[in-house]
Structure 1
């Protein structure tokens, strides 16, 4: 993705002594994105006239030394590979050098009042007679903290910092929470930090898990083009702060959700007379969630980078994977708790049905996959 940062937008003044020759126009090349097909289809005036976004697919190697010339008739937002690239102002002239690009690119023009095709997009070549004067270059500021480029770097750095701090300060706690062998043994080891659910190591784990959850929600919202107000408003991606606020709001909700689970466990274990289970259930819930969602976030990041920023992803199968995880976790908890405690099987089964069922219906899935709920 470094190529997105290597080229600049050239704004030419009206007094420049250069002969720009139009070499190609795009009347028949416009595309629209169809959510149902998960792909771009040719623009049809009778069907797509009122669409807010129209796209162009360009192959730079077909037009050497050419520039994409834009003469906006309205104020537009220009996207490159699905990432906000520039706010285009009506009446100004923009030229983008295609030689800086190597592979196929997709430009998308978005405006709330866009009707029909955005006017005056063409390819031009510069045939200068005398080089006398040229407007200054200015670096096109890609969206700072852009949801596809900087998102991965920032989120991974912060998550790795939290995990590194946990590993450095509490190595035994780190090893305990990331002990994947527990899935094979199906047993509960008596850990000291189980007896102190709100100790600092547990709170750090809780914060890290909440951060991973919020990053997953942000990634999925961006890649699925949700109709949620935040993702449908292009202005939220001009600066990094709205994205930060979104992630930290989800982080706060996740933190409250996870920490409140202990009180739910305590209430229901007391109701079903499952003495001593609340702390263990809380620890095992944090442990399994941290292991699963860390792996899921890593897989989704790799998959998103591989598919590219312009490609929308159908997360239905990932939702099924999350559902399978919670169902499998139910049986894992039932077998593990049954081995470690002498509770009546029926009481333990009903308790887990109620508690784990709440998560599938109203819990973390709704924070991460609101579009699919």
Structure 2
């Protein structure tokens, strides 16, 4: 009897809260209350721990994790009795006026950060009694929304992630593929990864490579380049650098299986783009009557990309292994070496093709601008 009375009281309380609503003018139905989700930074353990009244009553900064992806179409409601400040991913976003509600559209937050989970901190008066944080559903459309802007600064507590396991497995997979190519296609492997051959302006016209751009051996090395490209791309994504807004298109989930599926999708897309590039330069070469240099151009482009991206994958793997998992990389660190590589490759292609002495400089310059320089310029413009 007492149990039934307790359950009935609890249900009536829940229904009363739902009918009453939360937020400014009680315009929102409560979906989730963060009263039990507060975290504080513990200097002893060097990590975030759950808030305990007896131990953390005087702590001024309280934090919590927000699942922005699962709660889209809802609103985040924040109110404090005293003036405070809201930080999102350790970046100051808003001043919290005393006894006023701040309403954030979770769709706006998700579009701004392109992350499934955000880390929020409220700095102000100590304790949690004067703080109210809810996820709410709007009763009416009268409430004005506050859209959050993107930030580059991110200092987050360590969270368990499938990325380290994924990067280890994918790196082993790429290493195994290169071992296979080295053992079963040794001559081609040595040619592709020969830096001296890459920088040589004399044409070693080997039929099994240069004159068969879409032959089986070249396609295998092209597939290898596609896997390396996808590996680097996902490392960039894990560091919160969202190229071409692709996170919204390819973000399946944080699980290991989801990351593996995304890796193979990106590899397949990169492979198709490399093949499409050969078709593109073949068409443009035909227009400029440069059919005799199209295959050499494509081979040199793939050879240089293999050397650069393989070295980049090794370097990035070493840096990632020796830096904190939550460290955010600057997009400048990414753009400068890649743009420099493509500009130097453009100069190399010009010298190698001009050395054949079969084309006027004006035609060659126009040809390389269309197939190399213009795509690079457009890519840099829309990458970030």
Of the two, which has the highest radius of gyration? 2
Secondary structure of 2:291's aligned partner: coil
Question: Are the counterparts in 2 of residues 224 and 312 from structure 1 also a CA contact under 8 Å?
Answer: yes
Aligned residues: 265
Question: Are the counterparts in 2 of residues 272 and 347 from structure 1 also a CA contact under 8 Å?
Answer: yes
In the aligned structure 1, how far is the partner of 2:292 from the partner of 2:371? 16
Secondary structure of 2:120's aligned partner: strand
Does the C-alpha gap of structure 1 residues 303 and 55 become closer, same or farther in structure 2, counting only changes over 3 Å? farther
Alignment of 1:53 with 2:69, yes or no, is no
Match of 1:242 among 249, 258, 261: 258
Unpaired stretches in structure 1, ≥5 consecutive residues: 1-19, 57-72, 76-103, 109-141
Secondary structure of 2:157's aligned partner: strand
* Deviation for aligned residue 1:349: 1.5
* Deviation for aligned residue 1:223: 0.3
In the aligned structure 1, how far is the partner of 2:249 from the partner of 2:268? 22
Structure with more contact order per residue of length (Cα contacts < 8 Å, sep ≥ 6): 1
Question: Are the counterparts in 2 of residues 230 and 236 from structure 1 also a CA contact under 8 Å?
Answer: no
Does the C-alpha gap of structure 1 residues 235 and 358 become closer, same or farther in structure 2, counting only changes over 3 Å? closer
Alignment of 1:40 with 2:40, yes or no, is no
Aligned to 2:373: 357
1:119-139 deviations in whole A, cap 9, x for unaligned? xxxxxxxxxxxxxxxxxxxxx
Unpaired stretches in structure 2, ≥5 consecutive residues: 1-51, 66-86, 110-117, 123-132, 136-154
Does the C-alpha gap of structure 1 residues 180 and 323 become closer, same or farther in structure 2, counting only changes over 3 Å? same
1:180-238 deviations in whole A, cap 9, x for unaligned? 1135433332122211112221111111111111111111111025494747999710x
Does the C-alpha gap of structure 1 residues 354 and 305 become closer, same or farther in structure 2, counting only changes over 3 Å? same
In the aligned structure 1, how far is the partner of 2:92 from the partner of 2:277? 50
Aligned to 1:209: 225
Aligned to 1:309: 325
Alignment of 1:166 with 2:181, yes or no, is yes
* Deviation for aligned residue 1:26: 7.5
Matches for 1:1-373 after TM superposition, within 5 Å = 22-24=54-56, 27-30=59-62, 40=90, 46=96, 50=104, 52-54=118-120, 106-107=157-158, 142-143=160-161, 146-147=162-163, 149-192=164-207, 193-224=209-240, 226=242, 228=245, 230=247, 236-237=253-254, 239-362=255-378, 372=384
TM-score normalised to structure 2 length: 0.60
